[in-house]
């Protein structure tokens, strides 16, 4: 009886190991399914949003996910996620990939696998244009509004230790607090700040970016842990659109010279994200 139990345990362990190996080959699973389930944002123009005319998701990350799906020979499936839920959606297997402005950090890299970068932008403090605040140091002893759980909170507290950070549930709430004078500043990535200002309409009080960036941070695709072939393929895809110029065309369409943001690309598609923090 004891021998039978040992053999049964060994068989079970072997089967579990085999199951882990099979499930870890996520690239083949995706190809077999014929779809790439992308977790995307739909309220963060121009990176991911719902087109008011078509009512369909559109934007930089939406199109990029479609390009990657085509590269591996499958169709894209778009699943809306939020900044608060996106990590859980991925780690619990409800999506195959995140293309949702997930900024790299060492802590996050312990939970998910990252591709190289497909965007990198400066994050700057934003104040009302009429404000007397001229430099980042002028925010000392003032209130700054940020989204709850944001990686920007500890960075702001480190840069401005005497500043009081107020946490809000959404970026829209922190923007409203800035407009109402409840905080002196918030922090936006360049494209986000410009889009917020544009979409808020003519009734808002104009905004101004302070010159000194709080940080420059990359974002890339994120995958469940143990996805080496998927990460490798994503990096090959990003390198290919860097070389072909398709990446620049995509950037220009949504963020660069062909958009109303007129941003300048300062990153290389596929560059390992960890190098932003070591070089």
The answer to whether the CB of 58 falls within 8 A of the CB of 46 is no
Domain ranges of the chain: 23-120+217-277, 122-216
Buried b / exposed e along 237-262 (16+ C-beta atoms within 10 A):
bbbebbeeeebeebbbebbbeebebe
pTM of the model as a whole: 0.78
Summarize the confidence of residues 234-250 as an average pLDDT. Answer: 98
Q: How far is CA 254 from CA 6, 124, 160, 194, 204, in A?
A: 60, 20, 33, 12, 24
What is the CATH code for 23-120+217-277? Answer: 3.40.190.10
pLDDT tens, position by position, 191-226: 888 877 777 777 889 999 999 999 888 999 999 999
What is the CATH code for 122-216? Answer: 3.40.190.10
Distance CA 274, CA 277 (A): 6
Q: Helices marked H in the chain — which ranges?
A: 2-24, 26-33, 60-71, 86-91, 106-109, 152-159, 171-179, 190-199, 228-244, 246-254
> pLDDT band at residue 24, thresholds of 50, 70 and 90?
low
The answer to whether the CB of 109 falls within 8 A of the CB of 277 is no
Of the chain, the percentage scoring pLDDT greater than 70 comes to 90
- DSSP secondary structure letter of residue 205: P
Domains 23-120+217-277 and 122-216 belong to one CATH topology: yes
Q: Is 70 exceeded by the pLDDT of residue 128?
A: yes
Residue 80 pLDDT: 96
Q: Which of 151, 158, 120 is nearest to 136 (CA)?
A: 158
pLDDT tens, position by position, 96-118: 999 999 988 888 999 999 999 99
Summarize the confidence of residues 38-67 as an average pLDDT. Answer: 93
């Amino acid at each position: 009886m004891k021998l039978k139990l040992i053999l049964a345990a060994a068989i079970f362990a072997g089967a579990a190991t085999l199951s882990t190996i099979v499930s870890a080959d996520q690239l083949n699973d995706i190809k077999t399914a014929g779809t790439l389930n992308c977790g995307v944002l739909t309220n963060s123009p121009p990176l991911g949003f719902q087109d008011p005319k078509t009512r369909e998701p559109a934007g930089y990350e939406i199109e990029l996910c479609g390009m990657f799906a085509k590269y591996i020979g499958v169709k894209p499936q778009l699943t809306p996620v939020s900044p608060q839920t996106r990590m859980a959606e991925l780690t619990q297997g409800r999506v195959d990939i995140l293309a949702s402005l997930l900024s790299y950090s060492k802590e996050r890299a312990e939970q998910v696998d990252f591709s190289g970068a497909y965007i990198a932008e400066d994050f700057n403090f934003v104040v009302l244009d009429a404000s007397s605040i001229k430099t980042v140091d002028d925010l000392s002893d003032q209130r700054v509004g940020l989204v709850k759980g944001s990686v920007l909170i500890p960075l702001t507290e480190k840069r401005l230790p005497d500043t009081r950070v107020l946490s809000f549930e959404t970026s829209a709430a922190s923007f409203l607090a800035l407009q109402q004078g409840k905080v002196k500043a918030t922090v936006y990535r360049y494209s986000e700040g410009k889009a917020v200002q544009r979409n808020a309409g003519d009734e808002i009080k104009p905004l101004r970016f302070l010159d000194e960036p709080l940080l420059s941070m990359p974002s890339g695709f994120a995958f469940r842990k143990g996805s080496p072939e998927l990460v490798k393929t994503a990096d090959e895809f990003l390198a290919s659109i860097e070389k072909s110029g398709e990446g620049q065309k995509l950037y220009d369409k949504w963020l660069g010279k062909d958009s109303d943001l007129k941003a300048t690309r300062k990153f290389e598609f596929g560059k390992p994200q960890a190098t932003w923090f070591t070089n």
